[in-house]
Amino acid sequence: MNYKLLFLIILAFSIVLTIYKLIKIIWISLKKFIFKSDDVLISPKDLCGLTPKEFQSFSNFVLEKQGFSSLSPLAESYNDESYFLTSRHGENYGVLCIKEDFSSKSPSSINYSTFKRFISILHHNNLSHGIIVHSRTLNKEKHSFISSARDDFDFIIYDGDIVSESYNLLSSGETINGWELK
């Protein structure tokens, strides 16, 4: 009788183990299907809902994934503007993070006085490369003053569209470049 009981215990254990393995296989398959969805993970509007500190952390994450080092403070912050230092491939970059609210539907622009302050910070720190990270979609035509400064500086601009798209593509191992103005 003990053999029958032992046999039943082993049989029950085998059945439970088989069911567990089947559930695990099904879960892994479902997980792959669920997380390969084409849904947008984050949009520029979502970026505008972040606090300035959260946007800085988010920008740091995206830039690190693009090969830049962690952001370190470069100058005092003004309102929703923050200034940082980063590097990539031995080159140092000044970073201007602008977190703007999503209050209007029109494309945003970078304030000229903000840009002048950024140029001053780049000059003061002997930097020739700048990165501008903005939470909203930017209108390229409104930034002729950025293009006019490109004789002295190289700029990479990540607007809300590029930042959110970069983040969404990171999960698939891809990257996207900002507007490179050289």
Q: What is the mean pLDDT of each run of 10 residues along the chain (182 residues)?
A: 85 91 80 56 81 86 87 80 91 90 66 86 92 83 69 84 80 58 44
How many whole angstroms from its chain centre is CA 164? 6
Q: Where do runs of H (alpha helix) occur along the chain?
A: 2-35, 44-48, 52-65, 112-124, 144-148, 160-170
- Distant-in-sequence, close-in-space partners of 78: CB < 8 Å, separation ≥ 6: 114, 117
* Residue given tokens 């993970």 in the structure block: 41
On whether the pTM is more than 0.75, the answer is no
Predicted local confidence at residue 121, as pLDDT? 92
Structure token pair of residue 112: 């000229």
Q: Where do runs of H (alpha helix) occur along 36-111?
A: 44-48, 52-65
